[in-house]
Amino acid sequence: MSKLCLFFSIVFFLLTTSPSFSENQNTQNHDKSDHNFLESSKRGERLFKGLVLTKTKLKACVSCHNISFSDTLNWNPSAWDIAHSFSSKEISDFNSILNAPIAKVMSKVHAGYAYNDEELKHIKNYLVKLKEYGTQEQKPVVNNLILFLFLGLLITLALIDLFFTKKIKYKFITILIFFLALGYQIKMLSEDAMALGRNENYAPDQPIKFSHKVHATDNKIDCRYCHTGVDNSKSAVIPSANVCLNCHSIVREGRNSGKFEINKIHAAIENNKPIEWIRVHKLPDHVFFSHAQHVNVGKRECQECHGEVEKMHIVKQVEDLSMGWCLDCHDKTAVDFNTNNYYSNTFKKLHLKIVKEQIDSVRVKDIGGRECARCHY
Amino acid sequence: MKKYWKSQHEKNESSEAKITKHTPKGNLEQVLDIFEDGTAEAKSNRRDFLKLCGYSLAITTVLSSCENTVQKAIPYLNKPEEITPGIANYYASTYMNASDYASILIKTREGRPIKIEGNNLSPISNGACSARVQASVLSLYDNSRYQSPQIEKEKVSWDKFDDSILKALDSQKENKIALLTPTIFSPSTRKAIKYFTDAYPNIKWIQYDTQSASAILQAQKLCFGKDGLPDYRFNKANLIVSFDADFLGTWLNPSEYIKTYTDTRKLSGSLNKMSRHIQFESRMSLTGSNADERHAIKPSELNLLIAQLYNEIVILKGQQKHDVPEATKIIKELAKDLLEQKSHSVVVSGSQELNAQILINAINYELENFNSSINLENPLLNHQAIDEDMDQLIDNLASGQVKGLICYHTNPVYSHPKGEKIKKAIESLSFSLSIHETPNETSSLMKYIAPDNHYLESWNDAEIKKDSYSLMQPAIHPLFDTRQFQASLLKWSGQDVDYHKFIMKHWEETLFPSQTLYTNFKSYWEHTLQEGIFQTKTVSGNKLKFAELDIIKILEAITQKKKTNRIELQIYEKVTIGDGSMANNPWLQEMPDPISKICWDNYLNISPKQAKELGLETGNMIKLNGDLELPVYILPGQAYNTVSIAMGYGRTICGKVGKDVGFKASHLNTNQHSSVTLEKIEGHFDFAMTQTHHSMEGRAIVREANLDEYQKNPKAGNDHKHEYKNAGIYKEPEFPNHHWGLAIDLNACVGCGACTIACQAENNVPIVGKKEVIRAHEMSWIRIDRYFSGDENEPGVVFQPVMCQHCDNAPCENVCPVAATNHSSEGLNQMIYNRCIGTRYCGNNCPYKVRRFNWFDYTQADSIPNNLHDPTGMTLDLSRMVLNPDVTIRAKGVIEKCSMCVQRIQEGKLNAKLEGRKVKDGDIKTACQQTCPSGAILFGDLNDKGSDLFKLASSDRNYHLLEEIHTLPSVSYLTKIRNKKS
């Protein structure tokens, strides 16, 4: 009985803490708010999504301005982004920006759009709503959690049948079901536990659609131009907005994104509000990692850990940054005994061996690169 | 099951909130509470147990599927040129508060001051910092600080505040107002005060020091016609005699004195001479505990002894003998010895009586010490207050002659013996203004409160000794809506200048012309600001002449006082808390007193003999003078028929940490040898004592010898060497590159404890609170053991700093089931917190007891909320700004210990690698070494045969703790040598 109790308590716990539940309550709450506004915003939503016919018969807004998170690059600002920039503007401004933009990129893609004032008002109301409540949650997909709960249910049923109802004649079937379900659950747990805190393939949307490909490959800007700390400090340094302005005080319009993204830098400076990037590569707090040691002393290339960032529009974490991954590299990599006098003067015995050609190289692990307090203190 | 943010909206709004908000108290908390109180009041039954099981299983499930929180990386909008994230910046500045003066470097990371280091360029503080200077950085992040100006407890803007003040000052033009400050030895501040008092001639400026040096000041004036305090040079003295002056602890300028005192007591290489120190005192002070000879006396006997010494010297010099009672053998011999060391001795006294100080001057004059071991050309300026001024003010306040009071950085209601009288007077004042950082007993009575900046947010200058200047510069923008005192004064006196510019102008006018190195002021200023200090040349004065004083009358006055058998009370300052102005600093509160090893309290010190008579034990309660109930501590070395108690405790209005800690004693301080009555009462008091076992159990933990033995045989006292070859069952490790180690000179260590606070600041060592210290859960990585030897009424004292010994055959490493502690190829005993599962086997197996266990979540590093145990608010966002970002904060359930500042070692190595060179000897300094005023701790590479450490490690005085158990420590000690007369 007590085991059953436990499982019910887990199920109950998971249900009450499930985030999707509380989200639903939220949406119900704001349904009760201002009726007219809502109707207008509902109409706006239809217009935005292209569900109602308009005179222009051009592509609907949503086909360029996505309303939910997407992991592929869309140079156009998202609906949420637009909502933030334009919701406070007057309808007339909104009109001129939407129907008759001046900027190069926008005037090309917005050519032919002619919404009337009422339609614009509806769209604007929709955007205001979007800004206030966030984008609509996508339909829940069958994810691991549901599978986990289903397996839990199977186990419970199997146990009930095994001890009480005894509907299935052959006991081995129930026992098999029990063990398979439990085994799969354990597998799921252990896999998740191992992945805990690791973010391989993490590629979040950034507040500004900054493309390393455009900057590092197309425009051939050196990594160190922006990441100034990489040679001397433990952190590579995310450039401050004034570094962006070195170029972008002149380059005001991008080839792909137009003015919209670059304007965000200027807005940040004007409003005295720093840009809040989403951190992609992060190590746990108990790890000390120094870029200076690896890049300047160890002569590692940025790409060895970060992947070919210069080819990425959206930065993605390509390695899992696990300790095993670190140590693999420490095991293989040779230490620079030839040019750095620290090593040759400090590790005299090893240096002698190299000079006498008894060994061809010294690996990081040979000079204590696997020791705990090199990174953990 | 990985989940990132669902929408931009959630990403921006709730991700942060989720991290900081906690769920309400759950069952886990209840279970912890049971442990906490030691009583099982909250009944737990089978249902609770099942619930807990269910929860813990659910938590593991949830944890294993928990979301990876979205972290933001927010760069500067406009990055200041000098800041590189990840690299510390250092700014030279000055700390000055009461007897603490230090020229310092403020270590800042990403714009936050996180640590104070000593400035090696200063000839006065010499790169040293006392414990209080080290702890001062935490006071910056004190949550209880005033956050905006107040009028009658109403928060107002500065504009409104200034208007009201100006109106009030105008309306008070006819009334006398007093401006009460501590001693101001900043030339620019003095100038600002002058502007202020010129603008308001009805305001009179009075200085008041909680630890008064009034008698010495007056004696200097009378004897030599000079202002300021003598500049004692203990490093030029072969014989030091102190009559109740705690010059290594709290007297005048202790950081400097520790340095100069130990300079002549470090025996290394060819030097086999050291100074001799004789102390006469009633309480076992830090200074007395370091003395070669110590004589316990009653405070009332002090003056007579000084008179007798003077008389004996005069007799020996063949002059007219005075009518003074026959001196004891001790004094007679002392007089002889002093004359032998003519012009190479120092006689000091902490007496508050003018007559005694005149005699001390006369003695030093007869011994020709002036202008050799005592310098009067560069007087010390950090105490200038004259007691009579303050007494006069109190009378005037009480009588209503003075109708207004401005208090800057003083708290006389608490600290002055006549505090109650001042309190009453303030209540009837027509104008009262307090300029202070934190609420206190005085400011809470005041109408206007103009919050002052913390010194790390302020500009200032200082002239600690004549011709020795230093600058104070801000390292952070004021955290709150505060304004520094001097800026306020300038504003109110109608001067429309920035105080920074004001100082620059003053320096340009007065100091810039006195040098020839720089031709333009800007480069001079920038250079001086960078170095933090500036010296001008001293112009030698006329030959010293002792004024013709009626010595006979003085001697008469002293000898006429009758001896009594009453119990005498002495009020003293603790090395930790001082006068109580830093009572809200948890680092200082949890720092054990060097002698008693008690933290979080003060107590009545009583002599062992008297305790026996009264049937008292440490922790018993006593009634003092029939009203004040106090706990008793039996202090070996306390003179019979005397008791003593520390001031600085029993604060009633201050932040959460210092409020109602200990007992108020300042009102007992009447400066006369007040006699008291003691009466044992019922009750027991629990002391938070960090050392309860005082015996070495017959092992040679501290090794000592006398100087004459050492001169004959440098191995004296260090002859029980235990060295084994291949004794362990494990292979002895090899160290191919570095072998880091420490050497601690027990002869130099005076036990001041500055290293413990430096370590705490550097390594994010948590505070656990009194209750936890009582349960021996304190976390300090370095402790100073204190051992008494000999007769308990006249004991010898030794101090021994003990940190992880980084054994090469470490007992802790063998027993860890998960290899969370192991040895590095550089000789470090590594501790890996994230691997530790908390079996505490290592702690149990450590013979040095240096491993500390996190019984609770002291730092909020735990992933499960509600495990937090934070009695002092150290986990508030504000307090956490002091954390060193290079050192992990430890979670509940892991062991921690001294890492030999591995973060500094790694930094030093990285710098060497970046420059492609070897690590130079002295490149790397541990936090404890950096701050040590006496240079007792030395870090270095034992593999480097040319290093200073190697020299000490191979010296004859070198030994290891518990050599006999073959742990092969990397930390070694040098024997203590005393200079007792044989």
Greater model confidence, B105 or B667: B105
Distance from CA of A132 to the nearest CA of B (A): 8
CB contact under 8 Å between B833 and A376, yes or no, is yes
Which residue of chain A has the CA closest to B890?
A: A286
Same domain, B798 and B939: yes
Q: Which residues of A touch B736 (CB under 8 A)?
A: 347, 349-350, 367
Mean pLDDT of the B423-440 span: 93
CB contact under 8 Å between B53 and A284, yes or no, is no
Same domain, B471 and B445: yes
Say yes or no: domain A33-133 is CATH 1.10.3470: no
CA distance A310 to A280: 15
Let me know if residue B21 belongs to a domain: yes
CB contact under 8 Å between A135 and B822, yes or no, is no
pLDDT band, residue A336 (cuts 50/70/90): confident
Q: Is the pLDDT of residue A206 over 80?
A: yes
CB atoms near residue A253 (< 10 Å): 16
Q: Which residues of A touch B915 (CB under 8 A)?
A: 342
Domain count of the fold of chain B:
5
**Domain ranges, residue B569:** 564-689
pLDDT band, residue B23 (cuts 50/70/90): very low
Q: What pLDDT does residue B5 have?
A: 33
Q: Which residues of A touch B911 (CB under 8 A)?
A: none
Comparing CB atoms, the residue among A148, A288, A339 nearest residue B886 is A288
> Domain with B226 in it: what CATH number?
3.40.228.10
Comparing CB atoms, the residue among B71, B906, B919 nearest residue A282 is B71
CA distance B25 to B867: 10
Domain ranges of chain A: 2-18+141-195, 33-133, 212-321, 334-377
Q: Is the pLDDT of residue B895 over 80?
A: yes
Same domain, B600 and B658: yes
pLDDT tens for each residue of B201-247: 999 999 999 988 999 999 999 999 889 999 999 999 999 999 999 99
Q: Is the pLDDT of residue B819 over 50?
A: yes
Q: What pLDDT does residue B52 have?
A: 62
Let me know if residue B132 belongs to a domain: no
Q: What pLDDT does residue B713 have?
A: 87
Q: Which residues of A touch B6 (CB under 8 A)?
A: 19, 23, 69, 134, 137
Same domain, B374 and B389: no
Q: Which residues of B touch A272 (CB under 8 A)?
A: 77
pLDDT band, residue A255 (cuts 50/70/90): confident
Q: What percent of chain B has pLDDT over 90?
A: 71
Q: Is the pLDDT of residue B283 over 80?
A: yes
Q: Is the pLDDT of residue A33 over 50?
A: no
Q: Find tokens 């390292």 and name the residue.
A: B475
Q: Which residues of B touch A134 (CB under 8 A)?
A: 6-10
Burial class (CB in 10 A: 0-12, 13-18, 19+), B903: buried
Token pair belonging to B449: 């409160």
Same domain, B371 and B295: yes
Same domain, B784 and B877: yes
Same domain, B925 and B860: yes
Structural contact between residues B925 and B941, judged by C-beta atoms closer than 8 angstroms: no
Q: Which residues of B touch A284 (CB under 8 A)?
A: 834
Comparing CB atoms, the residue among A5, A290, A342 nearest residue B918 is A342
Specify whether the backbone of A68 is left (phi greater than 0), alpha (psi in -120 to 50) or beta.
beta
CA distance A158 to A166: 9
* Contacts across the A-B interface (CB distance below 8 Å): 221
Q: Find tokens 């010494």 and name the residue.
A: B309
Same domain, B461 and B321: no
CB contact under 8 Å between A296 and B8, yes or no, is no
Comparing CB atoms, the residue among A239, A243, A278 nearest residue B70 is A278
Comparing CB atoms, the residue among A195, A235, A373 nearest residue B830 is A373
Same domain, B771 and B905: yes
Q: What is the pTM of this model?
A: 0.86
Residue B328 — φ and ψ, nearest 5°? -75, 170
Q: What pLDDT does residue B789 have?
A: 87
Structural contact between residues B835 and B818, judged by C-beta atoms closer than 8 angstroms: yes
CB contact under 8 Å between A346 and B65, yes or no, is no
- Three-class secondary structure assignment of chain A: CHHHHHHHHHHHHHHHHCHHHHHHHHHHHHHCCCHHHHHHHHHHHHHHHCCCCCCCCCCCHHHCCCCCCCCCCCCCCCHHHHHHHHCCCCHHHHHHHHHCCCCHHHHHHCCCCCCCHHHHHHHHHHHHHHHHHCCCCCCCCCCHHHHHHHHHHHHHHHHHHHHHHCCCCCHHHHHHHHHHHHHHHHHHHHHHHHHCCCCCCCCCCCCCCCCHHHHHHHCCCCHHHHCHHHHCCCCCCCCCHHHHHHHHCCCCCECCCECHHHHHHHHHHHHCCCCCEECCCCCCCCCCCCHHHHHHHCCCCHHHHHCCHHHCCCCCCCCCCCHHHHHHHHHHCECCCCCCHHHHHHCHHHHHHHHCCCCCCCEHHHHCCCCHHHCCC
Distance from CA of B63 to the nearest CA of A (A): 8
CB contact under 8 Å between A229 and B832, yes or no, is no
Structural contact between residues B400 and B378, judged by C-beta atoms closer than 8 angstroms: no
CA distance A68 to A65: 9
Helix A2-17 with A144-160: angle, nearest 10 deg: 160
Mean of per-residue pLDDT scores for chain B: 88
Least trusted range by pLDDT, from A202-216, B9-23, B916-930, B933-947? B9-23
Let me know if residue B116 belongs to a domain: no
Same domain, B227 and B187: no
Distance from CA of B877 to the nearest CA of A (A): 17
Same domain, B901 and B920: yes
Question: Taking Cα atoms as reference points, which of B357, B872, B285, B249 lies closest to residue B579?
Answer: B249
CA distance A62 to A60: 5
Q: What pLDDT does residue B473 have?
A: 95
CB contact under 8 Å between B71 and A279, yes or no, is yes
Q: Which residues of A touch B910 (CB under 8 A)?
A: 290, 292-293, 297
Residue B460 — φ and ψ, nearest 5°? -170, 175
pLDDT tens for each residue of B438-450: 999 999 999 999 9
Q: What pLDDT does residue A20 have?
A: 39
Q: What pLDDT does residue B28 have?
A: 39
Question: Got the DSSP string for B510-528?
Answer: HTGGG-SS-SSHHHHHHHH
> Domain with B454 in it: what CATH number?
3.40.50.740
Q: Which residues of A touch B74 (CB under 8 A)?
A: 274-277
Q: Which residues of A touch B737 (CB under 8 A)?
A: 346-347, 367-368
Which residue of chain B has the CA closest to A79?
A: B8
CB contact under 8 Å between A269 and B78, yes or no, is yes
Q: What pLDDT does residue B672 have?
A: 61
Q: What percent of chain B has pLDDT over 70?
A: 92
Mean pLDDT of the B496-525 span: 93
Q: Which residues of A touch B888 (CB under 8 A)?
A: 285-286, 376-377
Let me know if residue B131 belongs to a domain: no
Question: Taking Cα atoms as reference points, which of B931, B932, B782 lies closest to residue B137?
Answer: B931
Same domain, B653 and B750: no
Q: What pLDDT does residue B459 have?
A: 96
Q: Is the pLDDT of residue B453 over 90?
A: yes
> Domain with B864 in it: what CATH number?
3.30.70.20
Let me know if residue B473 belongs to a domain: yes
Comparing CB atoms, the residue among B1, B7, B75 nearest residue A143 is B1
Distance from CA of B843 to the nearest CA of A (A): 18
pLDDT tens for each residue of A73-93: 777 888 777 877 777 777 777
Least trusted range by pLDDT, from A69-83, B250-264, B611-625? A69-83
pLDDT tens for each residue of A84-135: 777 777 777 777 777 777 777 777 778 777 777 788 888 888 888 777 766 5
Residue A133 — φ and ψ, nearest 5°? -105, -5
3-class SS of residue B74:
coil
CA angle B359, B364, B366 (to 5 degrees): 90
CB contact under 8 Å between B887 and A377, yes or no, is yes
Question: Taking Cα atoms as reference points, which of B369, B576, B468 lies closest to residue B125?
Answer: B468
Token pair belonging to A23: 């989200």
Q: What pLDDT does residue B186 have?
A: 95
Q: Is the pLDDT of residue B22 over 50?
A: no
Token pair belonging to B167: 């109106």
